Amino acid sequence: MSAQHTNRLAQEKSPYLLQHAHNPVDWFAWNDEAFAKARAENKPIFLSIGYSTCHWCHVMERESFEQEAVGKLLNEHFVSIKVDREERPDVDKIYMTFVQSTTGSGGWPMSVFLTPDLKPFFGGTYFPPDARHGRPSFLQLLQQIAELWRERKMEIAASADELHARLELITARDAKENLPLTPQTLQHAAQMFKEAYDPVNGGFGGAPKFPQPSIPALVLRAAKRFGDTEAVKMVLHTCNRMNAGGIHDQLGGGFARYAVDAEWLVPHFEKMLYDNAQLAQLYLDAFLASGDARHAEVVRDILDYVLRDMTHPGGGFYSAEDADSEGHEGKFYCWTHDELAKLLSPEEFIVAANHFGITKAGNFVDHSHPTPLAGQNVLSLVNPNVPAADQPLLVSAKMKMCEARTKRIRPHLDDKVLASWNGLMLGAFARASVVLDDETYRAAAEKNLQFLRDKLWQSDQGGASGTLFHRWRDGERDSVQLLEGYAFLLDGVIQLYEATLVPKHLDFAVELAEAMIAKFYDPANGGFWQSPAGTTDLILRVKDDYDGAEPSGNSVATLALLKFAGITGREDFRQPAEATLQLFAHRLQNQPAGLAFMLHALDFWLDEPRRVVMVGNNNSEEFQKLLRAAHSVYQLNKIIFGNIGAVEPFAKTLSTKAEATAFVCTGTACQPPTDDAATLKKSLL
């Protein structure tokens, strides 16, 4: 990084854009100023998309964007734009779809060349600084494209128009024939996932292994529906193997983004808020389905890590931690044999080395660095069952290791607060607070929601629906609105309401749901657009239809609205959810792996949910005991609500003279009311 250069990214809030503020490249953010310059000077746009904790983004910056020759060429022949994919997933989605459709693969950093009217004509991901394997160096590529633009501009423009038309076809989401959605759709999907199961290491698929919690969580849901004990074992085994692997930070808690191997051993060390939120939910499911306290401990491990390392003092949750520190991937997390032998007593070392699999040779090499560090060990639970006599030694060894690690240089923290990812983590804290009976988690959830309302929510003005902005950082919010922000936060607020039955949370959820439908729903075909109408800096309006590392906005919106329709009795919430299921019915049947989380919504929709209506004194111990009992059963197709506020009309007719009474209803039939926790649990099995 050179201090002699400062470009306009220095004025931005995105940590990713700020990382490039001292490149010799004359970077623009994604804005009208950049587009106007490209049009005025008739230059192609070089669009570079990544995120602040992306290892290969750092590599490409070091190799290319920090180089004077690259900067000179880009500044002379292109208008260069940097985009943080986490701030603008809608921009990323459009150009990633283009890159995947033209090259067969995608990833970050993403490098795309556009005409001045933002239409892509060539793209890829990481380009190396020198020619390799028949591919040009990045500098050669820039020279070739600059020459092509100079000599064959009209042909490129025509090609871009043609590619844009293809993109419109690829992203079009119109309702197909009216396919029936049945339990067989769910059964077929679960069977497909089971066939991809790794019986040795757990997980559904091979290396590299992403947790993709939507998939094991769906297999567990389907197992409950179809009485499939084999599938339950697959999911619990997967949870145990991930817990034992290096993908799980055995000292500091939380999970890395993925493992490069099939054994979950060597992670790509970056930690993302959205992964940890979804994994907390998966391990809550595993705990409720199995009763195994180890799964509850993993939930605590994740949430305690987030509270310690990923939480703004005001309550917002930060986005991610980097894989790299001091230029080396994993350096913060790894240990050498000799380092540990010096740190620990001989007795502690023997126990810790056996437990964590420490060897002289190590088990990790950072191949991305020119001079890899030798003998690095990623910690994993090679021998998890420590004899009782040795457990005090392991405890003291871990304390010393944690203390030593705090003195290391930490990976970069991406401290922006995103409405979407905060919504996911809000839901995890809320549900964990009641399942694990932990007031700390409830307080964290309440504080987080207040932070989001203060920083990112703007109440309705003059009858218009309220507005949820996407990103807050360093005292400022952006002006971007995204479906996933509304959908994920709606889901989180509903879970907080179910965990607390505080009516004000229900009221806010109503505001969010109404705003989401008004701004994003497509009444003509069903489904939700990723961006609201009138977003002027996008060449396409897209309906996100892929549940990958994160669930799509459409999938989360569908499940949240189905649950919320049950709680409030409002058909105007149910109808958009049902129309969205219908829009994606063909994809659910034929490509279930692409919409694993929407299959959760299908499972919920297939039957009338159990409705647990809680009546009485919310603050009494009897009420809270019944509420915890309602949440203590692995029965995801249920909704829990009170009898006051914006709930469905029948609930408001229910009353009790006791401190707490629970009514369990399905359709128009209710079981006898009960004030007994054991009876309530039995009625939900």
Per-residue pLDDT tens over the stretch 241-269: 999 999 999 999 999 999 999 999 999 99
Examine the pLDDT at 121 and tell me if it is beyond 90. Answer: yes
Confidence bin at 105 (pLDDT 50/70/90): confident
Residues 571 and 612 in one domain: no
The percentage of the chain sitting over the pLDDT mark of 70, rounded to a whole number, equals 98
How many residues are recorded in the chain?
685
C-alpha distances in angstroms, 398 versus 175, 299, 344, 345, 353?
56, 19, 9, 12, 11
Q: Count of domains in the chain?
A: 4
pLDDT recorded at residue 175: 62
Residue 130 burial (CB < 10 Å; 0-12/13-18/19+)?
A: exposed
Per-residue H/E/C for 439-467: HHHHHHHHHHHHHHHHHHEECCCCCCCCE
Range 431-451 average pLDDT: 98
CB 681 within 8 Å of CB 612: no
Report the pLDDT averaged over residues 135-163. Answer: 91
DSSP character at residue 9: G
Mean pLDDT of 94-105: 91
In whole angstroms, give the CA distance from residue 203 to residue 206. Answer: 8
**Which pLDDT score is estimated for 368?**
73
Residues 22 and 130 in one domain: yes
Spatial separation of the C-alpha atoms in residues 266 and 253, rounded to whole Å? 16
Same domain, 20 and 113: yes
- 354 with 371, same domain: the answer is yes
Q: Given this model, what pLDDT does residue 144 score?
A: 94
The SS3 call for residue 197 is: strand
pLDDT band at 174 (very low <50, low <70, confident <90, very high): low
What integer pLDDT is reported at residue 1 of this predicted model? 43
pLDDT digits (tens, 9 = 90+) for 645-663: 999 999 999 999 999 999 9
Q: What is the pLDDT of residues 611-642, one digit of tens each?
A: 999 999 999 999 999 999 999 999 999 999 99
Least confident range from 41-45, 156-160, 360-364, 485-489: namely 156-160
Share of the chain above pLDDT 90, in %: 87
Q: Determine the pLDDT at residue 2.
A: 47
Q: Which of 76, 184, 129 is nearest to 606 (CA)?
A: 184
Give the residue with greater pLDDT, 379 vs 160: 379
Rounded to whole angstroms, how far apart are CA atoms 251 and 265?
Answer: 15
Q: For residue 592, what is the DSSP state?
A: G
Reported pTM: 0.95
Together in a domain, 66 and 156 = yes
Mean pLDDT to the nearest integer, 113-136: 90
518: CATH: 1.50.10.20
Whether residue 381 is contained in a domain is answered as: yes
Mean pLDDT, residues 411-424 taken together: 97
Same domain as 497, residue 403: no
Distance CA 616, CA 48 (A): 56
Distance in angstroms (rounded) separating the CA atoms of residues 478 and 537: 15
User: In the listed set 561, 585, 607, which residue is the last one of a domain according to the structure?
Assistant: 607
Using pLDDT thresholds of 50, 70 and 90, give the confidence band for residue 166: confident
Kindly tell me if the per-residue pLDDT of 4 is higher than 80: no
Last residue of a domain, one of 110, 139, 171: 171
Question: Closest Cα to residue 544, out of 559, 560, 530, 562?
Answer: 530
Tell me: the pLDDT tens digits for 203-233? 999 999 999 999 999 999 999 999 999 999 9
Q: What's the pLDDT band for 410 if we cut at 50, 70, 90?
A: very high
- Give domain status of residue 261, yes or no: yes
The amino acid at residue 552 is S
Q: How confident is the model at residue 169 (pLDDT cuts 50, 70, 90)?
A: confident
**pLDDT at residue 460 tops 80:** no
Q: Is pLDDT of 538 > 70?
A: yes
Query: 314 and 165, same structural domain?
Result: no
CATH for 96: 3.40.30.10
Q: Domain containing 654 — which CATH number?
A: 3.40.30
Answer for the pair 429, 315: CB distance below 8 angstroms, yes or no. no
For residues 249 and 338, membership in a common domain is answered with yes
Kindly state whether residues 449 and 557 are assigned to the same domain: yes
Shared domain for 295 and 426, answered yes or no, is no
Q: What is the pLDDT of residues 464-486, one digit of tens each?
A: 689 999 999 999 999 999 999 99
Answer yes or no: do 119 and 139 share one domain: yes
Report if residue 654 sits inside a domain.
yes
Mean pLDDT of the chain: 94
Q: Rounded to the nearest 5°, which phi and psi values hold at 451?
A: -60, -45
Indicate whether 216 belongs to any domain.
Answer: yes
In which element (H, E) is residue 114 found? Answer: strand 110-114
Residues 441 and 556 occupy one common structural domain: yes
Q: 171, 205, 220: which is the final residue of a domain?
A: 171
Whether 323 has a pLDDT exceeding 50, the answer reads yes
pLDDT at 462: 63
For the cut 90, the answer to whether the pLDDT of residue 516 exceeds it is yes
Whether the per-residue pLDDT at 461 is higher than 80: the answer is no
Tell me the angle at which helices 68-77 and 138-151 cross, rounded to the nearest 10 degrees.
Answer: 20
The mean per-residue pLDDT over the stretch 572-588 comes to: 95
Average confidence (pLDDT) over 336-353:
97
- With a cut of 80, say whether residue 173 has pLDDT above it: no
Residue 379: give the domain boundaries.
183-413
Is residue 242 a part of any domain in this protein?
yes
Cβ-contact 327, 369 below 8 angstroms? yes
Please report the pLDDT score of residue 464 as a whole number.
66
